[in-house]
Structure formats: C-alpha cells, structure tokens
Amino acid sequence: MVEIIKDAISQGLTQKQACKIFRLTPRKFRRWANPKPLVPRSAWNRILPEERESIIQTASDEKFWDKPLSHIFVHGHESGKFFASLSTVYNVLKSDHLVRQIKRRKSNGSYVSAHSLLKEGFSLLCYDATRFVTESGVPVWAIPVMVLPYRYLLHVGHSLNGVSSSDLVRTVSEALARLPDSLELNLIAHSDRGSEMKASYTRISVKDLLGAPIHYGRPHTPDDQSWIEAFAKTLKYHREVPLSFKTVADIVQWLTRFPELYNNDPHSSLKYVTPLQAISGQQEVILSQRKQNLLSARKQRYASWQKSRVAVCEQAAAPASEVVMLPT
C-alpha cells in the first residue's frame, strides 16, 4: 500500500489525495513510509539471571525437597541469597517444572463475628478435637489449643476413646500454663457447638480460667472455626507425620512433638512469618526487612535494565549514523 501511494504521488496526486483513496491519514502514511528502528522492550523489574539461578539451586537442595514453597521464599530473605516475592519464586520454579499445581476450593467465607472480635483487639483461644487410630484400631483423640490471630499452637492434649468436658478443660488449663508470662492477651474462648464444648462444666470452667464466656460458632457451620479445622488437617497430613502409628505412645509422641514443629513453620495467614515470631512481636520487623530487601532488588534490576537498554539503543542507532557516499 505504501508503494502504491508513493507511485500515485509521483503521478501528480498530493499526499492527502492519495491517502484519501485508501482511507488512510497522511500521518499514518508517513509513519509507515519511514518506520523507526524497533527497540526491544523488556521489563526493568525482571528477575536477574543470578537471582533465578539462586532460586533454582535452593529448590534443588535436598533439605527443601519435602518443604512447602514458602520455606524457599523465607530462606532467600534470611540467607540473603535472593530477594523475591513468593509469586516470583513460584513462577521461576513453575517455568522449570519444579512445582506441582494444586487445585484449591473457593472459600465460602468466614464467621463475621469472630473476625470482628479480632479487629476489636481480642485474641481467640480456639480448641477442637480430631481422631487418630493406631494400627490395632485404638482411637486416640487429639485436642489442639491455639491462639489467634498469631496461629500460635499452645498445646495438643489427648484422650482415649472419646472426649469429655473434663478432658477439654484439662487440656485448656495445660495450654494456658504454656502461655508466655510476658504476653498480655485479652483472651476469649471460641469453639464449635459440640456436646463436650457446650457442657455446663466446660462453660463454667473456661469462663473461670479466662474471665469471659465462651464464644460459639453458628450451628452446622464449620467455616465459623475454619482455622482450627484447617489445623486438624495439618496435624494429620503434615509432611513429617508418620504413615501409621503402632501404639498409643507413638501418637502421643507425635502430638507432643508437633507444637514446636508447627510454631516454627512460616504461615500464609501471617505473611509467611512463623507463629513463634508473630507472638513474640517480630512480625512487623521481619516484614519491614523483607520489604526493604525487595526494594533493593528492584533498584538493582532497574539499574541492570537501564544498562542493557542503553546498549540496545546504541546498537540500533549505530547503522543509521553511518553515511554511505554514492559515486557521482
């Protein structure tokens, strides 16, 4: 089309008349007739090759093979080997087929009243019961007790065959004894409406321990205490949980070991800070340091991008600066 318009202009038509035939503006014709050299674009905040290599090397380390992706993200900030967001770490490993995609269910929402209590400055003491079974068929009930919003697991009690209100009160008492003395929390108990949770002995005893009545979720709505339900799954399917338990003692040993293991794992709801760091007041410092790390890495990538862009522009402009002398 450009050549046809040029030919029409050479035959005596004006540029405007020739462009009008093809319903083309003169400005667009001039831009097509004299194209500017194309300069390849690249994102200035693109992760650097050495950062990418460091992420892949960390993921290839044997000690991270059975760990969640968040451990690699935290390790990068703590070791200083790379500073990247969790999504960047995921995308790098995904491009090398080093992660397995998991289809997650959409959240159905959460109990508004419980979250409003957290927003008002209260801390929730959550507890529930979940069932383990030995190889011989003996049922052992685990009774975890955790503190929100820190997701800090205070204690995991146990009982045989079933859970009574006395078992529940005993476990809550043992959990409160493990609460750090320097920590001042405005605690309110929160649970579902199980028979042992609603028993008068449980309600009176827990109220005496905390100085506040128990806050219950709605009937037939397990999402109202989704955090403790999710924890029960973690307790059963953690990466280090034994495949089976031969005796009751093996189950008790696992329940005794688990609080330290859980409290030192980065948690997604805490922005990948461990519950121990959150309850000890280190969360804001760690998140601020990670933010500074990402800002520093961003500036470094921008400087690298500018340097490469200047080099590309100089290379693209070099042929245009050369003047070719034709023979007369």
**Percentage of the chain exceeding pLDDT 90:** 50
Query: Worst-scoring range by mean pLDDT, 38-47, 152-161, 167-176, 313-322?
Result: 313-322
Q: Hey, how many other C-beta atoms are within 10 angstroms of the C-beta on 206?
A: 25
Give the mean pLDDT of the chain.
87
Instruction: Please state, in angstroms and rounded to a whole number, the distance separating the CA atoms of residues 7 and 303.
Output: 47
Q: Say whether domain 112-263 belongs to CATH 3.30.420.10.
A: yes
> Whole-prediction pTM value?
0.69
For the chain, which residues make up each domain, given as ranges? Answer: 1-36, 49-101+283-301, 112-263
> Residue 112: pLDDT above 60?
no
How does pLDDT run across 186-221, given as a tens digit for each residue? Answer: 888 988 888 888 999 999 999 999 888 888 888 887
